[in-house]
Chain A
């Protein structure tokens, strides 16, 4: 084989990594029959969990895209005093364990938190509500997107923006019609990461929003609720989550591939 012992070593490492990563996923599908899986999915609690996960993740992603994209653009194209600090702060939730994220959210916007009184007075309830779930998901998932978006924007050739301005387009127009379309592959990757993170969020959601069917019990929480009493149901939900995550990754690849082939019509 090419490469001698080094080549063999590389191959072994890849094989080990592949096995380690795919075995648990494969086991989810192998451990129960398709019939059992489908039955468990028909159960109302599972359906509620799936629908709730999709709704809350979608809401979180929308917020992240709307707020995070311009923020990432600013960070990628301007420099200012204290920028390194700002970037670190934004990336911080990335390295926070979910439990710490949960504590943080409680301490900030929980009923006894810093803003608790203000929110209460404004009639906004976050704890134990679906809105609370969206808040938790947005918190843990946004750094994943913002970071990728920053890198994507920074990688866009500056002369494209300059060109846009010399052609009479304001910075806002240049942002919408040049920056974003050209950065789409990176933005798509960031969205996929954030989506995956939000779909899988457990600890912060449980601590901050609680676990109640249809209101706050997302798929990961539902899996946890079921695994000690109804392992088959837990498997079924896990299988769905794996399938959805796989679909997300696939669509991101398609978007990136499409972009590479020559971008999409922005006119």
Chain B
């Protein structure tokens, strides 16, 4: 009976250790023989593209690449709080610039552009931004602090004030990231929302993208950099470079991102 208790205790410790460990490659090794780890925080809009090329980069570099996707503002906040992130890739240049200014990020690089579009369900009757002013249209946009949300408000501010007001009055939810907006649209909970064209592409036809007039659309430039406190400066820089020219750059292009400006 005593033997059984010790076995149980051992099993419990092993379970706890396994639970705390990070992934299928085992917990982070501290000696040089086990694979190095690279933690990448990237904007939610890049989920589909980077999920492919991230592991590829890892295999090529014999590194273990861990990706986490969320609203760029949330990721920046985590870095400010001291999260152990190596690379930061955001859906705008302001957030990386701010981090750089505070000494938390290396010099940011503009690596891609995206198109800011109006997304509607595939059989929607909405054709233009003006249609959004109609009463009864349900809109879902990003919250103020997330890039997609600030782009949206920037764009709407360029409209005549009464149009802007009417559209904002139709907003029913301020989502923390693009995925939330897309989700509401595909569920049929809302009629329209502002997202990136890459997000619409990722829905495989469920949603339709309506391009905005050139003077209306914001310049959506994505910026990335290596976190100053990262121990993988060289590896991280190679990843960032790969976003402009490499496997990840190709993946981004395929998903619909534009090339670096």
B176 within 8 A of A: yes
Contact of A228 with B by CB under 8 A: yes
A151 contacts chain B at the CB level, 8 A cutoff: no
Of B73, B171, B180, the residue contacting A228 (CB under 8 A) is B73
Which among A128, A215, A216, A227 has the highest number of chain B CB atoms within 10 Å?
A: A128
Give the most central of B138, B145, B189: most A CB within 10 Å.
B189
Q: Does A142 contact B (CB under 8 A)?
A: no
Per a CB cutoff under 8 Å, which of A112, A207, A213, A231 touches B188? Answer: A112
- Minimum CB–CB distance from A5 to chain B (whole Å) comes to 16
0/1 string, A102-125, CB within 8 A of B gives 1? 000010001110001000000000
Chain A residues with Cβ under 8 A from B77's Cβ?
227-229, 231
What's the Cα separation between A217 and B71 when bound, in Å? 18
The answer to the question of A40 belonging to the interface, with a C-beta cut-off of 8 Å to chain B, is: no
The answer to whether B187 touches A212 (Cβ under 8 A) is no
Residues of chain B with a CB closer than 8 A to A148's CB:
none
Interface string of A196-232 (1 = CB under 8 A from B): 0000000000110111110111000000110111010
A residues near B189, Cβ cutoff 8 Å: 110-111, 127-128, 210
Closest residue of chain A to B189 (Cβ to Cβ) is A127
- Chain A residues near B172: list those with CB within 8 A: 128, 210, 212, 215-216
User: Which residue of chain B lies nearest to A111 when distances are taken between CB atoms in the complex?
Assistant: B188
Complex: A174 Cα to B73 Cα, angstroms: 58
In the bound complex, what is the Cα–Cα distance between A207 and B76 (angstroms)? 23
Our pick among B76, B140, B176, B184 for the contact of A225 (Cβ within 8 Å) is: B176
Query: A207 touching B173 by the CB < 8 A rule?
Result: no
- Is B133 interfacial (CB-CB < 8 Å)? no
With A210-B140, A212-B171 known as contacts, the answer to whether A224 contacts B187 (CB < 8 A) is no
Q: Give A228 to B71 CA distance when docked, in angstroms.
A: 10
Q: How far is the CA of A116 from the CA of B198 in the complex (A)?
A: 29
In this complex, how many residues of chain B approach chain A with their Cβ under 8 Å: the count is 23
Kindly state whether residue B29 has any CB partner on chain A within 8 Å: no
What is the CB-to-nearest-CB distance from B187 to chain A, in angstroms, rounded to a whole number? 5
Q: Would you call B175 and A211 a contact (CB within 8 A)? A: yes
Q: Is the interface of A mostly helix, strand, loop or mixed?
A: loop
* Residues in B whose Cβ lies below 8 Å from that of A207: 180, 183
Chain A residue numbers with a CB within 8 Å of B138 are 128
Chain B residues near A231 (CB, 8 Å)? 77
Report the separation of the CA atoms of residues A234 and B13 in the bound assembly, to the nearest whole angstrom: 36
CA distance A111 to B188 in the complex (A): 5
Task: Decide: A110 near B183, CB < 8 A? Known: A211-B174, A225-B176, A227-B77.
Answer: no
Size of interface on A: residues with Cβ below 8 Å to B: 23
Which residues of B lie under 8 Å from residue A106 when comparing CB positions? 187
Contact A210–B145 (Cβ < 8 Å): no
B51 sits at the interface (CB 8 A): no
Q: Which residue of chain A has its CB nearest to the CB of B181?
A: A210
Q: How far does the Cβ of B105 sit from chain A's closest Cβ, in whole Å? A: 15
Candidates B76, B143, B145, B188; contact of A211 at CB < 8 Å:
B143
A110/B173 in contact, CB under 8 A: no
Q: Among B71, B74, B184, which residue has its beta carbon within 8 angstroms of that of A128?
A: B184
With an 8 A cutoff between CB atoms, is B248 at the interface? Answer: no
Q: Which residue of A lies closest to B172 (CB)?
A: A128
Q: Please tell me if the beta carbons of B174 and A225 are within 8 angstroms of each other in the complex.
A: yes
Query: Is B117 on the interface with A (CB-CB < 8 A)?
Result: no
Q: Is the CB of B187 within 8 A of A112?
A: yes
Name A154-171 residues within 8 Å CB distance of B. Answer: none
Residues of B within 8 A of A128 (CB): 138, 140, 172-173, 184, 189-190
Interface residue from A110, A116, A212, A225 paired with B145 (Cβ < 8 Å): A225
Residue ranges of A at the interface with B (Cβ–Cβ < 8 Å) = 106, 110-112, 116, 127-128, 206-207, 209-213, 215-217, 224-225, 227-229, 231
Q: List 8 A-B contacts (CB under 8 A).
A: A111-B187, A128-B190, A210-B189, A224-B176, A225-B145, A228-B71, A228-B74, A228-B76
Q: A127-B184, A229-B73 are in contact. List 6 more A-B contacts (CB 8 A).
A: A112-B188, A215-B172, A217-B174, A225-B145, A225-B174, A231-B77
